[in-house]
Structure 1
Amino acid sequence: MSLISIVLLLGGFHGFYLSYALYQCNDRKNNANLILSLLIFTLSVSLIEGLLDDNGYLRSFPHLVGITEPLIFLYAPLLYLYTRRLTSADYFRANIVHFFPAILLVLICLPFYFSSVEIKQDFLYSPNIQSDIGQFYDDLFEFWVTPFAYVIVGIYLACVLKRLLRHKKSIADQFSYSEKINLNWLFLITVSLVVLYLLWIFDEVKFIYIEACEEGIIKTGCDPLALLWDQPVRFAEVGMVLSIYLFSLLGLKQPGIFNRPVVENKIEALQTPEQELSNADEKIGSDLSKSPKIEILSEKYKNSAVDHEQANAIFEELQNYVASQQPFLDSALSLDQLSKATEIPRHYLSQAINQCAEQNFFDYINRFRVEEAKRLLQAELNTSVLDISLAAGFKSRSAFYNAFKKNTGITPNQFRKNIQNPSR
């Protein structure tokens, strides 16, 4: 067995194991793990099919020829649905439209799937395909399926990247921390799949180039470059193995993937402004009656955003609450929690912060944490920077350093040195 076959074998069976583990950990209320399980399973099946092809087993089992081809239209939709599930708290049913290309391809290929062993062996090993069914199948993939798959996969990958970037912005408006909810690991995996997508295109171009050299269509550049490209290295399949291992490494580091949704149901990670306003309107009657300090949110503003004067009043209420109660010391503080504590609808809180502080919720809360850290750095000179960062409400040292430098222009260590040596 060749080295590439060993790689495919290990990658395939590791993928099956990971797929099963994800299925076992699936939460019926959040099917993210189930979707990821299906994605890993389809990738693994394709790897095993490539292994069988490389080692000539398809000659003994010709009815396996082509059965994995429709899977090329499942990889990207499953990745998109998985990303959507992680970045949205609302339950959704996977639209069958996403799987329509794969279903259609299966139906079109049924005549080939049910054809005789002789037709399939002729398709595999004959230099000139004799059967009409085999020729149709060959032309179908060469002129229609492969180009269309390039387009479909490219579109889905672009949609996944766009959704992840939107998610980063969304959590900054709703959370005072980003650890374990920013989905950076999924962004890295998606980038790796983009590389895999490019390797897939390169792999196809490689075979077209070699075929053109063999037929004499291209007579220059075939040696030695073509000989190098003609080595039995399946670039796309090796990339698929690497992607499975990335899912394992980065997914296992993300507790939310295996235990609970990364973005918990209490968040509405990708709500539109209209949805947020609608939710706020449902609560506004009861919320405002409980909070006499924001009575200016009258009935006539029930279906519209607050004006500048009202936003200032809400912001003043918020400033007083944050200064007196110090909710920023809670490292897991969210906009929803602050909304419940102040009895101000979250939509109006968000608007007041954006309009009056000209910041998102993440930066607004971290500004208070930095001020608290500055106070602690001055008052507790013998306390470590890490302990101070945790006491000020930060979840990690890196988050503390980034926020501190963003707000002060210097690092916490430099700030402490300036205190100890004011003359410098």
Structure 2
Amino acid sequence: MGVSEFVAGTGILLGLIVMAGLLLRKDGNRQANSLLAAALACNLCYLVLILALHTGLLQQMPGLSLLGFAYVLSSPLLYGYVSVMTQADFHLRPVHLLHLWPLLPIIALPLVSANGADLSSNGLEQARSGWPPGPLALTGLFVYAVSVIYLTASLAKVLAYGQRLADEFSFEESVTLRWLKLLVALCLLMALTGLLVALIRLLPGMELWPRSIYSSLTVIALYYLIAFFGLAQPDVFAGHREGAGSRKDTATASSEDDSADKQARWQQLEAYMVRQKPYLQHELRIADLAEDLRLPAPELSQVINRCSGKNFFDYVSSFRVKRAKELLLSSSGSMADIAQESGFNSQSAFYRQFRKVTGLTPTEFRRQAEQAELSSDTGADSP
């Protein structure tokens, strides 16, 4: 067994395990998991095609070449997965079948080329021959280009969703899609690398590394990323469905509030934050705070945005950082204890937000305060 066969076979086994894990999960979003499993299945088809090619099975069963058609749909399906994960009201509809369009050029290739995407030894050799590109080389360029387009759109969706979450949630790890952003970004990087390699291969004599090994390793890397990140999806939709008011609701609340009412609500909010200290709740949401104040969540969001110039996340973090500064000056507790007592749900979030607000890490802040106090005592003792 050669390297290509071993890599492809390992990828097939890993892919089946990850897909089973996604489809058999009883919790989480079934529609999202199904789309992600379908995207992985398309990648799996490509690995099966590579294995069949290098074992000679493709010569005996030419119909297996149809599996290559499915590979081009992996990035549109991943885009659908991202859409489900970032839009609480997203449901698959017939109009979404338009995203199958990448199949059309590949299916049409045999109609305009005598050999089509020839996967025989001669066809593979022609794909390495540089300029002008053969049908198989053009197919590879097209697949990578489609991947770049859809993955770029997916990353844009994730980034936009992260900003919306900041307007509604005061905690990060369990509600943001940081892992999904990393997943999509790395997939985009791999697609861009593949596209670059495919373009360089158009130059005569530029073989680089074996195409099948690179492609197989790319798919396997995707499987490992899904296994590490995707199977531990955070529960993001409970708060999102309650708290994420539509843009229309927000705009209406904004237009109906006059300046005096907004200022009164702002003073009510500030007094409540000081008196009740809701920011000490690790998983505070704007929906929770709005319920306590008996205000619509979109209206409260507008008050915070306009009167503080911050989103809900940064507004709550400012209170937590202030409390942390008090604890750093008055106690010798550990950073983990201070993070918990200040309302942060993790030490990493505490460090990140503290530095964002003060420009210092908590340790640097405490050290500077101790040095300032020591200097003050020394000055007072001197004659």
TM-score, with length taken from structure 2: 0.83
Displacement after TM superposition at 1:12 (Å): 1.6
Contact 1:71/1:102 (8 A) holds in 2:
no
Amino acid at match of 2:349: A
Pair 1:171–1:102, CA change in 2 (3 A): same
SS of 2:237 mapped into structure 1: coil
Alignment-derived partner of residue 263 in structure 1 = 236
Paired-residue identity, % = 27
CA spacing shift, 1:149–1:270, aligned 2, 3 Å: farther
What are the equivalent positions in structure 2 for 1:125-274 lying under 5 Å apart?
Answer: 125=120, 148-205=142-199, 207-209=201-203, 213=204, 222=205, 226=206, 229=208, 231=210, 234-252=213-231, 254-256=232-234, 262-268=235-241, 272-274=246-248
User: Structure 1 CA distance, aligned partners of 2:82 and 2:116?
Assistant: 40
1:63/1:120 contact within 8 Å kept: no
Q: Is the 8 A contact 2:88 2:240 kept in 1?
A: yes
Structure 1 residues 27 and 273: alpha-carbon distance in aligned structure 2, compared to 1, 3 A threshold: same
Q: Which moved more, 1:265-274 or 1:150-159?
A: 265-274
Q: Is the 8 A contact 2:110 2:117 kept in 1?
A: no
**Stretches of structure 1 lacking an aligned partner (at least 5 in a row):** 113-118, 129-137, 214-221, 257-261, 281-300
Structure-2 separation of matches of 1:106 and 1:205: 19
Unaligned runs of 5+ in 2: 124-132, 376-383
CA distance in 2, matches of 1:274, 1:122: 49
1:70 equivalenced with 2:66 (yes/no):
no
Aligned pair 1:370/2:321, yes or no? yes
CA distance 1:49–1:127, change in 2 (3 Å): closer
Q: Distance in 2 between matches of 1:307 and 1:246?
A: 49
Deviations 1:335-359 (A, max 9, x none): 1111111111111111111111111
Report if aligned partners of 1:89, 1:266 keep a CA contact under 8 Å in 2: no
Contact persistence 2:116–2:135 (CA under 8 A): no
Q: Distance in 2 between matches of 1:233 and 1:13?
A: 17
C-alpha distance in structure 2 between counterparts of 1:179 and 1:329, whole Å: 16
CA distance in 1, matches of 2:236, 2:97: 25
**Which amino acid in the other structure matches residue 73 of structure 1?**
V
- 1 CA distance for matches of 2:216 and 2:258? 57
The yes-or-no answer on 1:361 pairing with 2:360 is no
Corresponding letter in the other structure for 1:93: L
1:53 aligns with 2:53: yes
**Residue 288 (structure 1) aligns with:** none
Taking the aligned partners of 1:398 and 1:55, their CA distance within structure 2 comes to 49
Secondary structure at the counterpart of residue 354 of structure 1 = helix
Q: What displacement does 1:275 show?
A: 4.7
Q: How many residues are matched?
A: 362
Would you say the 8 A contact 1:26–1:34 is kept in 2? no
How far is the alpha carbon of 1:364 from its aligned partner? 0.6
Taking only aligned residues, the RMSD between alpha carbons, in angstroms, comes to 3.2
SS at match of 2:43: helix
Partner-residue secondary structure (3-state), 1:25: coil
Separation in structure 2 between the aligned mates of residue 244 and residue 61 of structure 1, nearest angstrom: 27
2:129 maps to: none
Deviations 1:280-338 (A, max 9, x none): 6xxxxxxxxxxxxxxxxxxxx8xx25233222111111111111111101110011111
SS in 2 for 1:178: coil
Partners of 1:19 and 1:61 in 2: how far apart? 26
3-state SS in 1 of match to 2:89: coil
Structure 2: which amino acid aligns with 1:326? K
What does residue 93 of structure 1 align with?
92
Give, as a single letter, the amino acid of the residue that structure 1 aligns with 2:187: L
In structure 2, C-alpha distance between the alignment counterparts of 1:415 and 1:86, rounded to whole Å: 38
Q: Give the superposition deviation at 1:19.
A: 0.4
> CA separation of 1:148/1:46 partners in 2, compared to 1, >3 Å: closer, same or farther?
closer
Distance 2:117 2:247 in 1: 59
CA distance in 2, matches of 1:406, 1:368: 13
Compared CA separation, residues 231 and 324, structure 1 to 2 (3 A) = closer
Alpha-carbon spacing, 1:202–1:147, altered in 2? closer, same or farther (3 Å):
closer
**Residues 157 and 272 of structure 1: CA distance in aligned 2, closer, same or farther (over 3 Å):** farther
